[in-house]
Structure 1
Amino acid sequence: MSGITRVPGLLYGGDYNPEQWPEEVWAEDVRLMREAGVNFVTVGVFSWARLQPGPDEWDFGWFDRVLGLLAEHGVAADIATATASPPAWLVRAHPEVLPVTADGVRLEFGSRQHYCPSSAVYRHAAARLARTIASRYRDHPALAMWHVHNEYGDHVTECFCEASAADFRRWLRDRYGDVAALNAAWATDFWSQRYGTFEEIEPPRAAPGPVNPTQALDWRRFCSGALLACYLGEKAQLDEVAPGVPVTTNFMSMFKPLDYWTWAAHEDVVSDDAYPDPADPDAHVGAAMNYDLMRSLKGGRPWLLMEQAPSAVSWRPVNAPKPPALARLWSLQTVAHGADGVLHFQWRASRAGAEKFHSALLPHRGTAGRQWASTVALGGDLARLAEVAGTRIASDVAIVLDWNSWWALELDDHPSARLRLRDLVASWYAALAGRNVGVDFVPPDGDLAGYRLVLAPNLYLMSDATAARFTSYVDGGGRLVCGFFSGIVDEHDHVHLGGYPAPLRDVLGVVVDEFRPVPDGASVPVSLGGRAVTATMWSEWLEALTAEVAGTYTSGELDGRPAVTRNAYGEGRAWYVGCHLGGEIGLVLDEALADAGARPVLDAAPGVEVTRRDGPGNSYYFLLNQAGRECETPAPDGVDLLTGAAVRRTLHLPPYGAAVVKTARA
């Protein structure tokens, strides 16, 4: 049984938009869905204008017939609330619903997501639609899940209209209580920005120069929360009318504008939209990182890939197609990282509209097209892996990811504008992925006790409570590796005084006297364990207090100074990496992994990605040949579920080939 819905096995299908087609096409759709093994589709995502043609007009007859066909053919439905694109009649009656940019431009109707998140008119209309849909379909045999909205923040993450300004002030009152506390948090004595009342505060609209950084940080928090309030308003209607039906909204991988730790706490099922670029030879690594985050958002519970492209997308400057073998491999990769379903955008390729050249499970050529054979084949693969549904992944290593620190790190007027958190995390993650070391993500207030090794590639913003949690973890025997420019400011973006990184100085055993960002195109040589490497983008004037020196700079003003350190603290150990080592960060992580006793899932051939999902009596090893060339790789003894063949010690994998080896758990 799937870990996320009543549908048995792994979910397979995608977005279904029958309103784009004549009704006589629908019967063919459901027949072909069954032929392909599709058991789950998302319906109604962009149907608001069809379902509600006017303020008090409703047209559910066509939708009833669609859901009836799906139920008749055994295809479960993820029924959407249809609120992602308000209809023309709503925005013409209430033009104030349309969003406003920071420089005062009101965005027009004609695309999608054209609404202000703080608009009371929009929120009321969306909640009314969600309640109406839930009331009508709560007992429908096709219903398996509710799908709220679609990709919150994809086009509009913020609005600067008067309604948003008023909502921001309400949010600030709730956060600070009085204006004196806000003035202290925002350090408004700087540049004479002091406020006398909350009514004097506006959003950080276009200004002559840099805006107050804490105001900008609070704005990011507010904007994530404003969109979350839209989601919660709809979810409340669904939960009241149809309790017990799981609710999701589709995330967009490691997406900066929305704090997914906070959002996921309000989802029954985490779902994600993922579009790795087949023209990027390393895209699978970034995809794996995103998938591990999705799994981690609900503490390891199975998640759902809501969207991916069967082949090419339509929105890149150059839209390369996926070779069929690569498309299969990447679909299996999502399951390898904990997904219990592989869905796509979309079922039938659109004939018109902005996404008409986006690939689909059923292409423009129909069943004669090459894509159709791949669609049917993938359905067979997922059916053979049905027993994997509901199993879990256990990891020894955790990466700390904090959206508040992400937002703060990338504000203006820092020592370097080149620091991008996702890139910093990705370089560390890639080193672990290349070693087939399993990874979870944890929030800054997460439980670290179950991990042998915790990594913090960058935590620019760090509260005293987070620092204390790290210190206690290491003191109790944990291993921590902390990256540069961490522990610099508190939750208000105020510098921790006394020498960076003040709240971690004892556990790391170092003090940073000066940041020395590296200019574009330049590098700094470093000796790391006797090996010559180079640092780019960032270096520091670092002093070792109680720490041992594990790596040193070897030229210039930093010659002989520490670049990497390790420090014994209590029963554990902590490393500090004071420079950006890129792919060479693996040399530091190798030492920490060995010290922590954290092992790879399997020692496989180069280019073969390996994960393991565990069930009550069996383990399932996913071996994915990402290298694009055939290979022989070590493998566990068992049976490959994809072929039924026995596996003994080694396995032959063709280019972009895959195996899922079932073994009995010891």
Structure 2
Amino acid sequence: MRSWPTKTLALGGDYNPEQWPRSVWDEDVDLMRRANISFVSLGIFSWSWLEPAKGEYEFEWLDVIMDKLHAGGVAVDLATATATPPPWLSAAHPEILPVDVDGHTLWPGSRQAWCPTSPVFREYALALTRQMATRYHEHPALAMWHVSNEYACHNLPCYCDECARHFRTWLERRYTTLDALNDAWGTAFWSQRYTAWDQVLPPRRSTTFNNPTHVLDYKRFSSDALLDFMRAERAVLDELSPGVPVTTNFMTLDHFRHLDYAQWTPTVDVVSTDHYIVDSLEHPRSELAFSGDLTRGLAGGAPWMLMEHSTSAVNWQPTNHAKSPGQTIRDALAHVARGADTIGWFQWRQSRAGSEKFHSAVVPHAGADSARFREVEELGRIAGRLGELVGSRVEAKVALLHDYQAIWAAEGPCMPSTELDAQEAAHTIHRLLHDRGVTCDVVHPSADLTAYAVVVVPQLYLVTDAHAAAVAAAAEAGAQVVVTYFSGISDENDHVRLGGYPGAFRDLLGVRVEEFFPLGPDSDVALADGTGTWWSEDVTTLPGTEVLTTYAGGPLAGRPAVTRRDVGGGAAWYLSTLPDDATLGTLLDDVLSAASVEPAVADLPRGVEATRRSDGTQSWLFLLNHTDTEQTVAASGYDLVTAAAVDGSVRLAAGATAVIRQE
């Protein structure tokens, strides 16, 4: 077994040699050496090449490339190859195919055409996993196992009869009795009371709105079903290939919300994720930072792996923009700034055919004699110098709470507004802090909050009593707690907490809301010191609560909009609307000042990103210039990007980066 590269920032990505004649393989390994590539993910979509017919395995080609990679000094993150079944399996067993909400079978011809609960698919997938683990456990190139690929990217949720049977079993484990299920689902409404388990179905297409808790539980079940599948493959690897680290690539992009990754992290030895920039977003660079902070939160603050991102354009957006010169390096280091110790791309060599032939790669269609490959080579040289920070951690004194199950509930049927994204407040507050050079740990509500000076609770619609109590305890202990609208509304069964909103946080905040006044995407409400967007509420303050801002127009004119209450050694702030950037930024400055939280760099120029990693002895200041003009930042130390000393200030060219070692 080969050790994972740790003396350098590991660079690599998906490698698909089966797409190319063997005459290209030696060139690939030579180019990897040139670019300082230290790992590849191998075999992810190779099932049809490894098992071309039932029980007939062809490993010779994989043996050859594994040997070549080992000789070239490249570590292998070897996939179990179970991400997509081969055509012969789907043809022999069409019952493995997933079914959509309308009862339509999703046929082969793309990828991930398999039902998450299919016992037949599981049997074949585990058989292949056993073959892989047995054959390659002792191979000197093997450094890590890569289970499946991007779980739930295309085949979740599935509504087939097999999933219906597994769903009922899942519900029986969760609730034990039908009475408990009926109570949790509120089936007294619309005559939905169940009197036998076999009456329960997935929330398929119905006449109108499905039961919200039914929908929520099906999302929980679907995430658990795939997690159970991942654990089954992991069990085979633990049996036949003990001691080799195991991972699977999460997808912590904002638009991917199918899996509760907080439940998945104990199953992997190292957290890894895929991230691609979505150009249609209003703030794509801020979303990248949020994704990195979320991934680090899932990893418990430990370094993590960026398994996939793109060197340039992707292939799945309406318009797939190429990255500007220098952006390949800057985007990669943006993830390192957020805690990644491994940087991977999809993919190594750009495909000639198939659905992703116009997706960028390390070696583009133009070949190694190209600006894109030369930029990767430059990053390879930088990666060697960045080896000294591998294992260090990102410094953050602000926690921003994130819970996939709360997001699922807030996205359920029949909510006060279908226009409001469940993450609107989270992304906005994170972006404004990010612009100030203040780093957030994006963490689950169950995380230890005692080390944070600021705790942000953005639109945490669903919250348990225990998690609400932990937030209150953080304020008592001295933290500045910021809670936004539409938080604390329901319990874990999506039952509204009675007595006035925001339910679970009402006493902490010292406010009581009787009614919501949602705003559309093209409307706003005047505030005494700015403008509110997306949402407003009829707020009444309780004794001891200070009104910071009021509504200045509309039906709520004169009513409280933003409040603050002293709590123990800290304070609790409430935002019943989402203020405009300037107003919210000023408020956050007040919160940070009260918490004595300083940015990574004072007087940070607009458009320059600043974060810091530390190992307790020294720290590394990351500066990324996202503007098209030169910027100057006050700093001293040694820049690992340019390999030059910095004395007092660093001049960042347009789009440039610096990683400055400081004692």
Same fold (TM over 0.5): yes
Q: Which amino acid aligns with 1:159?
A: C
Show the counterpart of 1:580: 578
Question: Helix, strand or coil for the counterpart of 1:155?
Answer: coil
Question: Helix, strand or coil for the counterpart of 2:547?
Answer: strand
Hey, what's the Cα distance between the residues in 2 that align with 1:327 and 1:108? Answer: 36
Q: Which amino acid aligns with 1:633?
A: V
Show the counterpart of 1:618: 618
Indicate the larger mover: 459-468 or 114-123.
Answer: 459-468
Whether the 8 Å CA contact 2:328–2:376 is kept in 1: the answer is no
Show the counterpart of 1:497: 498
Show the counterpart of 2:179: 180
Say yes or no: does 1:539 pair with 2:536: yes
Q: Which amino acid aligns with 2:419?
A: R
What is the TM-score normalised by the length of structure 2?
0.97
Say yes or no: does 1:458 pair with 2:455: no
Question: Helix, strand or coil for the counterpart of 2:90?
Answer: helix
Q: Which amino acid aligns with 1:605?
A: P
Whether the 8 Å CA contact 1:7–1:76 is kept in 2: the answer is no
1:523 is displaced (CA, Å) by: 1.2
1:648 is displaced (CA, Å) by: 1.2
Show the counterpart of 1:411: 412
1:619 is displaced (CA, Å) by: 0.8
Gaps of 5+ in 1: none
Q: Which amino acid aligns with 2:534?
A: M
Show the counterpart of 2:365: 364
1:6 is displaced (CA, Å) by: 5.0
Matches within 5 A, 1:296-307: 296-307=297-308
Hey, what's the Cα distance between the residues in 2 that align with 1:37 and 1:581? Answer: 47
Question: Helix, strand or coil for the counterpart of 2:563?
Answer: strand
Q: Which amino acid aligns with 1:289?
A: F
With over 3 angstroms needed to count, the CA separation of the structure-2 counterparts of 1:402 and 1:278, relative to structure 1, is closer
Q: Which amino acid aligns with 2:7?
A: P
Taking only aligned residues, the RMSD between alpha carbons, in angstroms, comes to: 1.4
1:438 is displaced (CA, Å) by: 1.2
1:260 is displaced (CA, Å) by: 1.0
Say yes or no: does 1:291 pair with 2:292: yes
Say yes or no: does 1:150 pair with 2:149: yes
Hey, what's the Cα distance between the residues in 2 that align with 1:365 and 1:290? Answer: 31
Whether the 8 Å CA contact 2:423–2:459 is kept in 1: the answer is no
Alignment partner for residue 558 of structure 1, among 536, 556, 559? 556
- Seq. identity, %: 46
1:317 is displaced (CA, Å) by: 1.0
Show the counterpart of 2:211: 212
Say yes or no: does 1:242 pair with 2:241: yes
Matches within 5 A, 1:73-222: 73-222=72-221
1:420 is displaced (CA, Å) by: 1.2
Indicate the larger mover: 210-219 or 418-427.
Answer: 418-427
Hey, what's the Cα distance between the residues in 1 that align with 2:509 and 2:280? Answer: 41
Deviations along 1:387-415, whole A, 9 cap, x unmatched? 11111112100000111110000111111
Gaps of 5+ in 2: none
Hey, what's the Cα distance between the residues in 2 that align with 1:157 and 1:582? Answer: 36
Hey, what's the Cα distance between the residues in 2 that align with 1:291 and 1:253? Answer: 8
Deviations along 1:314-362, whole A, 9 cap, x unmatched? 1111111001211211111111111001110111111111111111111
Deviations along 1:407-433, whole A, 9 cap, x unmatched? 000111111112212332111100100
Whether the 8 Å CA contact 1:279–1:320 is kept in 2: the answer is no
Deviations along 1:172-206, whole A, 9 cap, x unmatched? 00000011100110111110000001111000000
With over 3 angstroms needed to count, the CA separation of the structure-2 counterparts of 1:520 and 1:75, relative to structure 1, is closer
Say yes or no: does 1:333 pair with 2:331: no
Hey, what's the Cα distance between the residues in 1 that align with 2:561 and 2:281? Answer: 32
Show the counterpart of 1:634: 634
Hey, what's the Cα distance between the residues in 2 that align with 1:171 and 1:424? Answer: 33
Deviations along 1:574-606, whole A, 9 cap, x unmatched? 000001224242222211111111111112222
1:122 is displaced (CA, Å) by: 1.1
Whether the 8 Å CA contact 2:8–2:385 is kept in 1: the answer is no
Q: Which amino acid aligns with 2:640?
A: L
Hey, what's the Cα distance between the residues in 2 that align with 1:613 and 1:7? Answer: 16
Show the counterpart of 1:64: 63
Hey, what's the Cα distance between the residues in 2 that align with 1:489 and 1:495? Answer: 4
Hey, what's the Cα distance between the residues in 1 that align with 2:67 and 2:87? Answer: 29
Show the counterpart of 1:569: 567
Show the counterpart of 2:400: 399
Hey, what's the Cα distance between the residues in 1 that align with 2:282 and 2:74? Answer: 35
Show the counterpart of 1:423: 424
Q: Which amino acid aligns with 2:650?
A: L
Indicate the larger mover: 386-395 or 204-213.
Answer: 386-395
Say yes or no: does 1:661 pair with 2:663: no
Question: Helix, strand or coil for the counterpart of 1:324?
Answer: coil
Hey, what's the Cα distance between the residues in 1 that align with 2:502 and 2:278? Answer: 37
With over 3 angstroms needed to count, the CA separation of the structure-2 counterparts of 1:657 and 1:145, relative to structure 1, is same
With over 3 angstroms needed to count, the CA separation of the structure-2 counterparts of 1:387 and 1:253, relative to structure 1, is same
Aligned length: 657
